[in-house]
Structure 1
Amino acid sequence: MTNNRVTTPFNRDSTALEVVRGIGLAGRRAVVTGGGSGIGVETARALAEAGAEVTLAVRNPEAGHEAAADITATTGNDRVLVAPLDLADLNSVAAFVANWDGPLHILVNNAGIMASPEMRTAQGWEMQFATNHLGHFALTVGLRPALVAAEGARVVAVSSAAHLRSPVVFDDIHFERRPYDPWLAYGQSKTANVLFAVEATRRWADDGVFVNSLMPGAIRTNLQRYINEEELARMRTQTGGGGASYWKTAEQGAATSVLVATSPLLDGVGGRYFEDCQEAGPNEPPSRAGYAPYALDPEAAERLWEVSEKTLRA
């Protein structure tokens, strides 16, 4: 996509705390969706370690408070807050936005569901697209004034190599006419995360808001709760790292999110896709690395934005 691809001194083995070392975030405020578990809690921990005030936006506040206490205990930062957020419930998203006050410097759209059985929201939307994309879209657009007020905000869209499975199928996003496939639904939602970063940057860069997307790597977390062991074993062979040894720890999985959220190397950079702490190049099958050209297509990104706005207004 770019001739000036961002490179960093970090790699797939780097941890979130290594990436943030030497970066000072005192006076900065961050929100991490899904910050109560998995790579979300390690993302939040690294931001807190660097001195930021961090809000864990979580569906389960009890688990969120446990995570916040753990983060405070390990970092000494007592400015770790918890707020309820259910991305599949637009009233919950609206309440979170309404309760936010003041600038927001870092928004990490980390929460998500993967390869779930067919489920639908109250509006009839397919659950993975609704949670992984539409909920985060509504949240980020709602928080735009707070991001602009930060004068140099960053938004992090946690995508996945699964975006290689499917573009956004605009003719039938919600599987109303085609048979439901959990992996195609997940892949489509993760492509939407990448496209969101492209179009949000185009619209908001002049206001100092930059959005990038990323693939965190293969990490065993609650995200895989709908996937059986046989499927997980098959996924291992596709990660390109020679089997189970390539599974990252949660600390390693959070590293690219933290890099995109904090690294000075990304000042003024947006609309790009990162993996293993580097800006990725185009995918070359059969590899599972890199981005699909359709995920960085500016016309598809603009169309998705318009469709998302129309869907949320309906």
Structure 2
Amino acid sequence: MTTPTPVTTPFDSETTALEVVRDLDLTGRRAVVTGGASGIGVETARALASAGADVTLAVRNTEAGQRAAAELTGATGNDRILVAPLDLDDLASVAAFVRNWDGPLHMLVNNAGIMASPEMRTEQGWEMQFATNHLGHFALATGLRPALAAAGGARIVSVSSAAHLRSPVEFSDIHFRQRPYDPWLAYGQSKTANVLFAVEATRRWADDGIWTNALMPGAIRTNLQRYITEEELARMRAQSGGGAASFKTPEQGAATSVLVATSPLLDGVGGRYFEDCQEAGPNQPGTRTGWAPYARDPEAAEQLWTVSEEHLKG
């Protein structure tokens, strides 16, 4: 089997989301951005709206969502920015969002998430990071599949992280029922799940014209790090060999998400992993870039899909 040619683009780590869409017209295209009220989510929504897309901010806090929508409309002149409630760790909330959606969906940006949280569990007893970062988005995407298929050439954006290099999905104990809870291992396996989802969703849904890719947005100081101390952030920067300059702005952090959602260069491309607006290669030992082989393993991707479906059946 031949290896597909990597996707290359004219953009880089300093590109902003608005620069990615500068020459694109997304009028008539509809997008959902989870966690779209803050951080890279709101900057993703800003870029999509600026290019003319209809954008729904799918958020837990609808008041914050309405404030963000008003600011985005004022900034872009696009009044087709809507807000809808979505709590990814509550399957009833996900089901309600899916039930209320009507018509085609061209772009689903699975952006919301939690990072390195204290041990928390859903009402089903699921570890919260895996439940929110993967299972909630899995339920959302599978529920919206008919809407995505109706769009023709739809894109799903699966926001992962270099933290996926910390851990594969530990199928024998996903929810830390036997092993001691570790917030970073829990986060890492949830981010690996985001990449595996892109692999398997592409395999299953490409014939429906649905293309899914994963990405690493970069290091950005946002509310995502609310459980991480400044001391730990400093240690992480030191380990990566960077200082404050190694952090991207939210506008730069959203660029790769927007690229994956919109770029004509990715037409018919799925199951891949992007960093700094370029397709990334496999991780090299001693680095924090690229994808781990276990995150693109087709057998693990299929297993995760099966396990995820079993979770949703209850």
Q: TM-score, normalization: structure 2?
A: 0.99
Displacement over 2 Å in runs of 4+: 237-240
Residue 70 of structure 2 aligns to a residue whose secondary structure is helix
Q: Which residue of 1 aligns with 2:172?
A: 171
Superimposed CA distance per residue, residues 170-202 of structure 1 (whole angstroms, 9 cap, x where no aligned partner): 000000000000000000000000000000000
Distance 1:88 1:268 in 2: 31
Distance 1:170 1:137 in 2: 16
Distance 2:106 2:79 in 1: 18
Written as runs of structure 1 = structure 2, the 5 A alignment for 1:94-243 is 94-239=95-240, 242-243=242-243
Distance 2:136 2:217 in 1: 20
Instruction: Report how many residues are paired.
Output: 313
Q: Which residue of 2 aligns with 1:90?
A: 91
Tell me by how many angstroms 1:297 deviates: 0.4
Distance 2:199 2:212 in 1: 7
Tell me by how many angstroms 1:2 deviates: 3.8
Give 1:284's aligned amino acid.
Answer: Q
Residue 172 of structure 2 aligns to a residue whose secondary structure is helix
Residue 172 of structure 1 aligns to a residue whose secondary structure is coil
RMSD, aligned α-carbons? 0.9
Q: Please list every run of 5 or more consecutive structure 2 residues that lacks an aligned counterpart in the other structure.
A: none
Q: Which residue of 2 aligns with 1:245?
A: 245
Distance 1:224 1:19 in 2: 26
Q: Which residue of 1 aligns with 2:312?
A: 312
> Structure 1 vs Structure 2: percent identity of aligned residues?
81
Distance 1:296 1:222 in 2: 28
Distance 1:277 1:2 in 2: 20
Q: Which residue of 1 aligns with 2:17?
A: 16
Residue 171 of structure 1 aligns to a residue whose secondary structure is coil
Distance 1:238 1:202 in 2: 36
Superimposed CA distance per residue, residues 41-67 of structure 1 (whole angstroms, 9 cap, x where no aligned partner): 000000000000000000000000010
Residue 206 of structure 2 aligns to a residue whose secondary structure is helix
Tell me by how many angstroms 1:237 deviates: 2.5
Q: TM-score, normalization: structure 1?
A: 0.99
Q: Please list every run of 5 or more consecutive structure 1 residues that lacks an aligned counterpart in the other structure.
A: none
Superimposed CA distance per residue, residues 17-54 of structure 1 (whole angstroms, 9 cap, x where no aligned partner): 00111111000000000000000000000000000000
